[in-house]
Amino acid sequence: MASSSSFLLLAVLLALVSWQATASDPSPLQDFCVADMNSPVRVNGFVCKNPMEVNADDFFKAAALDKPRVTNKVGSNVTLINVMQIAGLNTLGISIARIDYAPLGQNPPHTHPRATEILTVLEGTLYVGFVTSNQPAPNRNKFLSKVLNKGDVFVFPVGLIHFQFNPNPHKPAVAIAALSSQNPGAITIANAVFGSDPQISDDVLAKAFQVEKNTIDWLQPVI
């Protein structure tokens, strides 16, 4: 009986390990796999360019990340350098972004479905935070936040809703973020919920947010 129980426990542990091993991208099996953007073959990522045709420019971009950017209507600008800008990032599981914030500007609540983000403030001050998932109480939707100053670093776990806000009404802020995916993706919550194409039924959203339908009808054109 003890032997049977031990075997069952071992089988469960092996299943868990196997699931974990297949739940993330595999490690590269070669030095690099520069993306061949012209290949008609479609895979999860990009097909490798012939290594004999690879050169230094496949790993380079004159991105001018030291230069300020014009911010959008919410007061931010994200300049993302991922595999679409540097083909050599294919299979390497990393990308980088410069984020500019106008005074009182924000990078609004959003998620990266495929990446953890680590952010460092280069100039100014940022109020940042993320919300945990719908896990059992007392940690359900727990909000964790921090005020960051120049040189500070903060981590946003993969898939969780997070934001950054510049609380200074007079000075802009700048941050650099590294993300653990060649193509992290971004889902801005307001845009996804109220600005989808086609629109989500206002009946659904009114019920979900516990508001009147006319409130949803007002929000959808605005977003």
Q: Give the Cα-Cα-Cα angle 157, 169, 96 (nearest 5 degrees).
A: 30
Question: How do beta strands 106-111 and 187-188 pair?
Answer: antiparallel
Which CATH superfamily hosts domain 51-185? Jelly Rolls (2.60.120.10)
Spatial CA neighbour of 208 closest among 222, 194, 195, 191: 194
107 annotated ligand binder: yes
Residue pLDDT, tens place only, 141-187? 999 999 999 999 999 999 999 999 999 999 999 999 999 999 999 99
162 annotated ligand binder: yes
pLDDT score, position 21 = 44
170 annotated ligand binder: no
Q: Is 126 helix (H, G, I), strand (E, B) or coil?
A: strand
Residue pLDDT, tens place only, 105-118? 999 999 999 999 99
Token couple for 104: 């009182």
117 annotated ligand binder: yes
Spatial CA neighbour of 74 closest among 134, 164, 184: 164
Residue partners of 122: CB distance under 8 A and separation at least 6: 150, 174, 175, 176
Residue pLDDT, tens place only, 178-221? 999 999 999 999 999 999 999 999 999 999 999 999 999 998 88
Residue pLDDT, tens place only, 40-88? 998 888 999 999 999 999 999 999 999 999 999 999 999 999 999 999 9
Alpha carbon dihedral 104, 109, 115, 121, in 10-degree steps, equals 20
pLDDT score, position 130 = 98
Q: Name the segment(s) of the chain with CATH classification 2.60.120.10.
A: 51-185
pLDDT score, position 6 = 57
Q: Is the pLDDT of residue 137 over 90?
A: no
Model confidence at 17, pLDDT cuts 50, 70, 90, reads very low
50 annotated ligand binder: no
